[in-house]
Amino acid sequence: MRHEACDILILGGGGAALYAAIRARDADPALKIVVASKGLFGKSGCTRMVQGGYNVVLHPDDSFDQHFDDTLRGGGLINDQELAWTLVTQAPDRIIELENRFGCYFDRNADGTIHQRALAGQSFNRTVHRADLTGIELMSRLSEQVMVRDIRVMNEVRGVDLLFDERHERVCGALLLEAHAGELVRMAARAVLLATGGAAPLYRITPASLEKSGDGLAMGFRAGAEFVDMEMMQFHPTGLIAGDSVMTGVVLEEGLRGAGGHLLNAQGERYMARYDPAKMERSTRDRVSRSGYMEIRAGRGTPQGGVLLDVRHLGKEFLLKSSPGMYKRCLSIGYDMATEPIPVTPTAHFQMGGMRIDTECRTTIPGLYAAGEDAGGVHGANRLGGNGVAESIVFGAVAGDAMVRHLPESAAAAPSAAESARIAARLEARAGDANPFTLRRDLGAVAWDRLGIIRSAESLGVAASELDRIEEALGGVGIPADRAGNAALHERINLENLVGVARLIQASALLRKESRGSHYREDFPETSADGLFNTFLSRAPDGSIAAARRPVKFTRRRPEDLQGDTVIPGDKAKAVAPAFTSEI
């Protein structure tokens, strides 16, 4: 085991991690900052995969209040309102910084202003983008900024667990594992940021970067952090179907629906008329995903087990201009979206629940921060498209600034040697012939069928039993004496973390006996007037999950403030209905 030290340790390689590193370096250039990226620097995480864009109030006819209210309505009114307000009010500053300091370029209108398009669930066209390749633009520029600041990046290095001081009072580092060398690194740090991304790859169908395995969430739970609303996992309605390829589940983003794309079942019906006749395909992601899933389950799906996205009427010229990445991606597997409907399926997309943080990204553990999908509360029960990358950028900046601001309170402390040894012992060589890759497929099927788009007490009970079985089988996976470059070892660690996150989702889903946003209970299909609470989970002394419910804190808006008309983006018509109801 190698011993190193830094001032700030950032675990993650996506937008939140890189932005935090940049802001921390700019706040104090003398600090030693380390970014440990599980994947390749600049290529890791899901920010690079963002197509839709970044929600921000720029137009004079838009307002913070409108963006805020859309976010709360979309979130089923259970958002942490202070976090949502931080997102909305700081998003413009970050766009200005991205363009004017970091060199990002976003699509323009004819008059030179930034173009903003419609994404579902919003009352104004406020999504800034670079065609459908927004994430590549962001990550390319952020990577450049990290490099010119000479911030140390550790490539293909994962966090194994967090480390505490000898008195177990604060996090003061992490045990890291270098994938290629197989060497363990005990990295001491005065502040640690978890920005590793969520656990969407827990599910059988997902567009998420496959190195994401809920590592930060699992480490946070084992360390004792409190979690909020872990039942809320977002499914995107239109994941591409590409047979058994890993491309199945890759998102065809909702700008296509915002521009007027149609969703059809195998009979050619625009089935959203059954579920949300006012908004149709522009309904929120939770409703559209659930509607597609129900069409498939009712036997109205395609032979590939999906539905169809039809954008032929938008024209090839428009598609090539607005969505060149998606157009080429479809062509690469034999579909021309300009001439034929594209088979799609709901796909596990985004973790809305996570560690509870304050408006400075501090978790409930001193010294530990979280941002991006490792943190919960911003989106409530359903994330609006375009709010995800905005969250990563805004709260990455918040975390970077806050860690530097609070460092004087954090004297350097050596991580507990005994704890480091205990964690390292989990990776000692042992015999075993169970196949972790087979178990991973089993876990994906369990999550999809039992913890997925539609749930019930029965399905959640079956999930608990299946998770027990998989966890027991996991004990039979061997650990090689030589850890260098061992894919099976990393899959074993991935599985441990994913099973842990799955248990948190299951526990929270049992606690919420209603349907709200992305959480749909078949046995409780209505949205309850008594459902305005948040679910909280933490680790009990015996290692089990302690669960609680607490009323939502309405610090800026009351539910009655959000009743009434909601404008459909791009339409003059208004839908007179509370936008936060989840009945379909």
Measured CA to CA, the distance from residue 102 to residue 19 in angstroms comes to 11
Given the residues 73, 129, 186, 236, the one annotated as active site: 236
pLDDT surpasses 90 at 144: yes
Residue 83's identity, in one-letter code, is: L
Q: Report which secondary-structure segment, H or E, holds 249.
A: none
State the pLDDT at residue 263.
Answer: 96
Q: How many CA within 13 A on the CB side of residue 195?
A: 40
State the pLDDT at residue 569.
Answer: 32
State the pLDDT at residue 45.
Answer: 81
- Which domains, ranges and CATH numbers included, belong to the chain? 236-349 (3.90.700.10), 429-551 (1.20.58.100)
pLDDT digits (tens, 9 = 90+) for 231-247: 999 999 999 998 888 88
State the pLDDT at residue 52.
Answer: 79
Q: Which alpha helices (H) appear in 11-108, and where do they start and end?
A: 15-27, 64-74, 81-100
Measured CA to CA, the distance from residue 315 to residue 466 in angstroms comes to 47
Pick from 253, 258, 344, 350: nearest CA to 51: 253
Measured CA to CA, the distance from residue 233 to residue 463 in angstroms comes to 16
Cβ 154 vs Cβ 176: under 8 Å? yes
State the pLDDT at residue 564.
Answer: 52
Cβ 94 vs Cβ 397: under 8 Å? yes
More confident site: 48 or 234: 234
Measured CA to CA, the distance from residue 140 to residue 132 in angstroms comes to 15
Given the residues 257, 287, 356, 521, the one annotated as active site: 257
**155 - beta bridge partners?**
37
Per-residue 3-state assignment (H helix, E strand, C coil) for 141-153:
HHHHHHHHCCCEE
pLDDT digits (tens, 9 = 90+) for 432-448: 889 999 999 999 999 99
* Coil/strand/helix, residue 280: helix
Cβ 349 vs Cβ 155: under 8 Å? no
The model carries a pTM of: 0.92
Strands (E), 311-434: 342-351, 354-356, 368-370, 375-376, 430-433
CA distances from 46 to 16, 50, 105, 297, 302 (A): 10, 7, 19, 29, 29
Q: In what order do the strands lie in the sheet with 262-264?
A: 233-240, 342-351, 307-310, 262-264
Tracing tokens 């009970």 back to the chain, one arrives at 461
Active site residue 257: yes
**Interstrand relation of 33-37 and 8-11 (parallel, antiparallel or unpaired):** parallel
pLDDT digits (tens, 9 = 90+) for 514-527: 999 999 999 999 99
pLDDT digits (tens, 9 = 90+) for 524-536: 999 999 999 999 9
**159 - beta bridge partners?**
176
**Residue 380 CA from chain centroid, whole number:** 12
Active site residue 236: yes
pLDDT digits (tens, 9 = 90+) for 113-142: 999 988 777 889 999 999 888 989 999 999
* Coil/strand/helix, residue 87: helix
